Chains A and B, each alone.
Chain A
């Protein structure tokens, strides 16, 4: 059944005051001259639901806040939003106290719930993401928003003879179509999920195909053999590796065994080295002793020379008597000196001086010492020479032993080393080959894995596509609903009596009207009035078919801005306007008799057309606007038509 959605009231705030517009009748007309604010009120309504609203400079300058009281199904809620709204948030208020309960963003940030999400949830329209492209589905998707639904519910003045629910814009058109299918049960969450899955699988398949091609190229370029020969070679390589390892182990064990026979030699070399060291030390010590002895001998020889020199000096200089005092340098010759007395101090000579010189004694003693020292030196020298000889011999022996052990080691170790090196080389080569084989195996396995995945993905996609077809095919009921919509549309067209229409129907592919074989965009050529009338017929057909069929979930709410604008003022035009209004009244009255199915129609127009003779506009609840104090914005004096600007500005942060 249609979803019940009603605007109970809208409260417009300026800095100084506020005004509440209440809508408690099925059909409400906002009547007023150009620029008095009737369209702006509808725009503020849209603004309050988080939509991008075209607000006039007067509204942007004076209105600061708007509160919308809504009823969606059995839920009442109040939405408040700043005007303009730089923060991009809509407040959800308690519907009775108007206390702020929640603040929801207009635009989704990090997946947080938006005002659109909340409203769609209340209308039980799934917040699905739909694939962006109908054909060649991919993983790219876009979310359906409440404002996409709003395009159905709010026929703006600029769109009335131009676009149906934004069908002229690609992204909006995808959402429009998806919403239509939801509301008519032509589509459901499962189908969307299936289509999304199809898109995902298509993307996967493309990626897998690219990877499979890349790996295949690699395998071909590397001339990779089949898996069977690879496995065979791997087994052989492993066997050879094991054999080489055993051989290497044997070699190591063998070289350790030969060590025992060399042990004796090593012991000998140790002993020879110790011996050589001892003898060398002994020789050095003896050489030191010889040097010390030589030094003593030299000193003795020098002393001996000095004794001889003293002997000569004594003979020559000692014979000379002092003739001058060595202290005061005065002459000593002119005084008598007794025999055996000092010529200087006149004391008796001591016995030492009186005695005969005994220099020979000293020299003889020194000579004896020299002779003894020479003998000792000779003995020391001989011992030192012997020690040096022994040390030299020991060194030669040590050298010989070393050469012997070198030779033995060389003879035994060299071939061993060559063999080890060769085996190690083979070992490394085999290991490298094993690495290559593993690489090939990996590449082959990767290739197999990718092929499997590709096949699975292709099979899955086939199944999913079949499922999608099946599901769509089984939607005969849904198609019957579209047929009913088509009938309702044709009925509205005929009731309204759109001039010049021979053939009109709803196309089953895009759910858009065709009139005389033309699409909606081309109808303007027949005059804006025709397009407007077709658009109104389309909207009314949607509502009536929804009211009749429980399965169609189109909300029972419609706002139309200025239907008469494009229609004109000729008598036939006026009649068309009259018929439109009659249709609105009829539908509203019919809905009013069924209180459970509340319908709400909001029409904004400059004035109501003259009622035809057989009817009156009594059931239209009219809210009239004027200039001066009667304008929509409360507490602000409207200066009149000369101040009206048609230019509108878009709120920067509003969503779409």
Chain B
């Protein structure tokens, strides 16, 4: 039954590719969220809530949004964290609006994984607030050492310095900014 063997081999290869894709997707998000949590982690307090986490993470996923946010002083990414042309022109920008929202379930998975690997821990007495462990800091340092993640680490630290504001305020700033960005960059791309 050479056909059956070939089919089994094809299936196995597809399963392997899918598993790899899922695994790669999972660790990609875990790495980014870990860098964000590390940037915001003090000794006793971290990102405070999942809502605040998800909104700050939106800035990491779509960095051009920063220039459309109506923040006092109009801060821009520092040179080491500046957006690259691909980020501005990618077709993904068109879907930024549909990817903004209370995606807390997805973050639960990511946070769960980071917790499972003991890279972060819960703040005692507070639900759903986490801070980085020493293992998490070590992993973040190792990630940031790779050029692929340096920019993300700088951006997370910039957010901690410049945008340490409430979740509600972030929401107020982000929603109109998304509309402006889609309008402006899609026009550019057209």
Q: A294-B89, A326-B113 are in contact. Are A351 and B15 (CB under 8 A)?
A: yes
Q: Across the interface, do B16 and A352 meet the contact criterion of CB distance under 8 Å?
A: yes
Q: Across the interface, do B149 and A309 meet the contact criterion of CB distance under 8 Å?
A: yes
Which one, B25-33, B155-163, B164-172, is touching chain A? B25-33
Tell me if B53 counts as interface (CB < 8 A to partner A). no
Q: Across the interface, do B88 and A298 meet the contact criterion of CB distance under 8 Å?
A: yes
Tell me if A305 counts as interface (CB < 8 A to partner B). yes
State A310–B31 Cα separation when bound (angstroms): 8
Query: How far is the CB of B39 from the nearest CB of chain A, in Å?
Result: 16
Chain B residues lying within 8 Å of A314, measured Cβ to Cβ, are: 23-24, 27
Which residues of chain B from 134 to 149 have a CB within 8 Å of any chain A CB?
139, 142-143, 146, 148-149
Tell me if A256 counts as interface (CB < 8 A to partner B). no
Which one, B44-52, B65-73, B115-123, is touching chain A? B115-123
Chain B residues lying within 8 Å of A295, measured Cβ to Cβ, are: 89-91, 189
Q: Across the interface, do B20 and A326 meet the contact criterion of CB distance under 8 Å?
A: no
Q: Which of B24, B116, B146 contacts A344 (CB 8 A)?
A: B116
Q: Across the interface, do B143 and A313 meet the contact criterion of CB distance under 8 Å?
A: yes
Report A504-547 CB contacts with B as 1/0, cut-off 8 Å.
00000000000000000000000000000000000000000000
How many residues does chain A have at the interface if contact means C-beta atoms less than 8 Å apart?
Answer: 43
Q: A298-B86, A359-B24 are in contact. Are A352 and B30 (CB under 8 A)?
A: no
Query: How far is the CB of B12 from the nearest CB of chain A, in Å?
Result: 6
Which one, A152-160, A259-267, A316-324, A391-399, is touching chain B? A316-324
Q: Across the interface, do B19 and A317 meet the contact criterion of CB distance under 8 Å?
A: no
Tally the A-B contacts, defined by beta carbons under 8 Å.
125
Chain B residues lying within 8 Å of A310, measured Cβ to Cβ, are: 24-25, 27-28
Tell me if B92 counts as interface (CB < 8 A to partner A). yes
State A307–B4 Cα separation when bound (angstroms): 33
Which residues of chain B from 87 to 127 have a CB within 8 Å of any chain A CB?
87-92, 109, 112-113, 115-119, 122
Chain A residue at minimal CB-CB distance from B146:
A312
Q: Which of B20, B28, B118, B148 contacts A323 (CB 8 A)?
A: B118
State A359–B16 Cα separation when bound (angstroms): 12
Tell me if A58 counts as interface (CB < 8 A to partner B). no
Tell me if A594 counts as interface (CB < 8 A to partner B). no
Q: Which of B21, B34, B112 contacts A326 (CB 8 A)?
A: B112
Report A348-370 CB contacts with B as 1/0, cut-off 8 Å.
00111101011100100000000
Chain A residue at minimal CB-CB distance from B190:
A291
Tell me if A306 counts as interface (CB < 8 A to partner B). yes
Q: Across the interface, do A299 and B92 meet the contact criterion of CB distance under 8 Å?
A: yes
Q: Across the interface, do A312 and B90 meet the contact criterion of CB distance under 8 Å?
A: no
A interface residues with partner B (beta carbon < 8 Å)? 288, 291-292, 294-299, 301-302, 305-314, 316-318, 320-327, 329, 344, 350-353, 355, 357-359, 362
B interface residues with partner A (beta carbon < 8 Å)? 12, 15-21, 23-25, 27-28, 30-31, 34, 85-92, 109, 112-113, 115-119, 122, 139, 142-143, 146, 148-149, 152, 189-190
